[in-house]
Chains A and B, each alone.
Chain A
Amino acid sequence: MTAVGQVLRLTLMLLRAYSRDFSALFFGFAFPLMFMLIFGALNFGTFRVSLGVADEARNPDSARFIEALRGVSSFQVSTGSSLELQALLEKGDRDLVVLIPQDFRIAPAPAGARVPAITVVESRGAAQEASIGKAVLASLIDQLSFAVTNTQPVVTIQSKVVSAAQLRYVDFLTPGIIGMTIMQIGISSVAFGFVSDKQRGVLRRIMATPISRRRFLAANVLQRVLLAMLQVMILLAVGVFVFGVQVVGSVAALLAVAALGCVTFLCMGFALAGWCTTENQVPPLTQILTLPQLFLSSVFFARDAVPAVVRPIADVLPLTFLNHAMREISTGGATLAQVGGDLVGLSLWTIVGFAAAVKLFRLESS
């Protein structure tokens, strides 16, 4: 029997036991699904980008452009002077301000000639809205240029944003619920399972057999990654087929980020399992690790809902990075490179978690 064969068979055996564990199934699978269905059905209004437009050209072309912006239903368009709009942006009343220059026109430009440059100012407080707004804006401008130059778009992927047009609450919610579930499965399944097995002497019994610790742990990690990814796909499928959620970016990129998130939270789970000596410690310590992230990491509500005082902390929580990256991909069509900052953040947490797990987690007593 090869090492891989042993690990895979053990993974299957672990999955079989999991499939009979009613409470694990409830908290790992049914619970997030209920959240998804309830919050998805509540649908807290549509998600809108508040867009300020300062028209300095005041010509038919700029009017046509503004008309096109108003046609995008996820935009709430208001006009005004550049100065007053930027003041509103500072106060957080606008997510994005678009400055249309005096020389604006919608016409083919000869090669090498200066083309009118639209300036976009974004609010730092509403990064989510601003980035979605920019993505929609970019594709709108592309469409206008293609229409003018009578060419076919070279890349069509971005035009999906405009056709999706309306970003609803459930579109915002789905990546958040997925992130929450990854955190729950990663931390709870390891902490609850291993501490109970440690306390009952199960691990001691297994370590009395010749299986290598490495392979035993590999199967346990693989089992949980598979479970979490299965749940991610179930939630995504419910989002897409029940609520009509549109994943703008690549599903593969979304799953890749989800997998990284799994690893991050599994490391934390192993660290926690090593820290706890009795089963009684597991529920409160799990809550201490997960609850703040549940409320501060934009699972259900955008970052604006987080009080400004705790934002510096909220911004560096692992679930914040995970949710932000998945949301950018899912609703804003971002690529993996565009969410690189989040991936770096998640990776740093993974390193911290892994180091803590190596330090704290033991399969056997000395």
Chain B
Amino acid sequence: MTPIITVADLTKRYGEIDAVRGVSFEVEEGEVFGLLGPNGAGKTTTVEILEGLRAPTGGRATVAGVDVVAHPQAVKARIGVQLQASAFPGHYQARELIDLFALFYERKVDAPALLRAVGLEDRAGQRAEKMSGGQRQRLSIAVAMVNEPRVLFLDEPTTGLDPQARRNLWDLIRDIRSRGTTVMLTTHYLDEAELLCDRVAIMDGGRIIALDSPKGLIEGLLAKGFTKPVLQQQANLEDVFLNLTGHELREE
């Protein structure tokens, strides 16, 4: 099986700063691939190159059969993106935003069906700016799906959400994966990566320093003789919180 994303020796330099220093990896079709790392590790730059938003300084990358370096515009038609710290154009209802973005892809879509897929069917007439954080993230995933993308890029999708909304979004991401879409996820939350990702790459200082399944990475660490100083608790504070407030999604 040929990988859907191939990255080889990718570099990006901003003036004096090397943001990405020779990154290589492959993503298989249908998997959820996580890109982890502290702030400034080069995650977002790497992803933005793959999305056709930035030109790399060096290296090669292919996404869904398109050479990203040579045809950054063509790759945009085949992928769906959810960007970090971006917003929708103002004054549109959820349904209209779906139609607006479909227009950008020169497509006609079934907006109610897309909203139903992310659980926003009864918010079709609501303005995006009046939605809660969790609803907005789900809407942005619905918008990212208007072109039936082969790869969905999600950049820190659960940042700033409450525990219920995060779990709800995880279910949505699993659902998207089960329908055959490849998901490339960047996140700060390691529990999220462990739960959702088939494989993760850990970046630091512009390089990939580890790449394996979450289980494989943990086993590798344990094999090196690592032990946690404190015995693992049987429950944590988040379990308490969810036990008290339930898993039910709140309508803010």
Contact = CB atoms under 8 A, between A and B. Distances in A.
Contact of B91 (A6, A21, A201, A366): A21
Given A205-B83, A208-B81, A10 B54 contact: no
A366 B103 CA distance: 25
A184 B197 CA distance: 52
Nearest to B73: A210
Contact of B86 (A17, A204, A364): A204
Interface string A1-25: 1000010011001001110110000
Interface residues of A, number: 26
A366 B56 CA distance: 10
Given A200-B87, A208-B76, A210-B76, A13 B100 contact: yes
Nearest to B127: A20
B104 A211 contact: yes
Nearest to A24: B91
Contact of A210 (B54, B87, B105): B105
B149 to A, nearest CB: 11
B144 to A, nearest CB: 9
A208 B87 CA distance: 12
Contacts of A1: 106
Interface string A189-212: 000000001001110111111111
Interface string A122-147: 00000000000000000000000000
Interface in B83-132: 83, 85-92, 96, 99-101, 103-106
Contacts of A209: 76, 101, 104-105
Contacts of B91: 16-18, 20-21
Given A21-B91, A364-B53, A204 B83 contact: yes
Given A9-B103, A208-B53, A209-B76, A17 B89 contact: yes
Contacts of B101: 209
A204 B89 contact: no
Interface of A: 1, 6, 9-10, 13, 16-18, 20-21, 197, 200-202, 204-212, 364-366
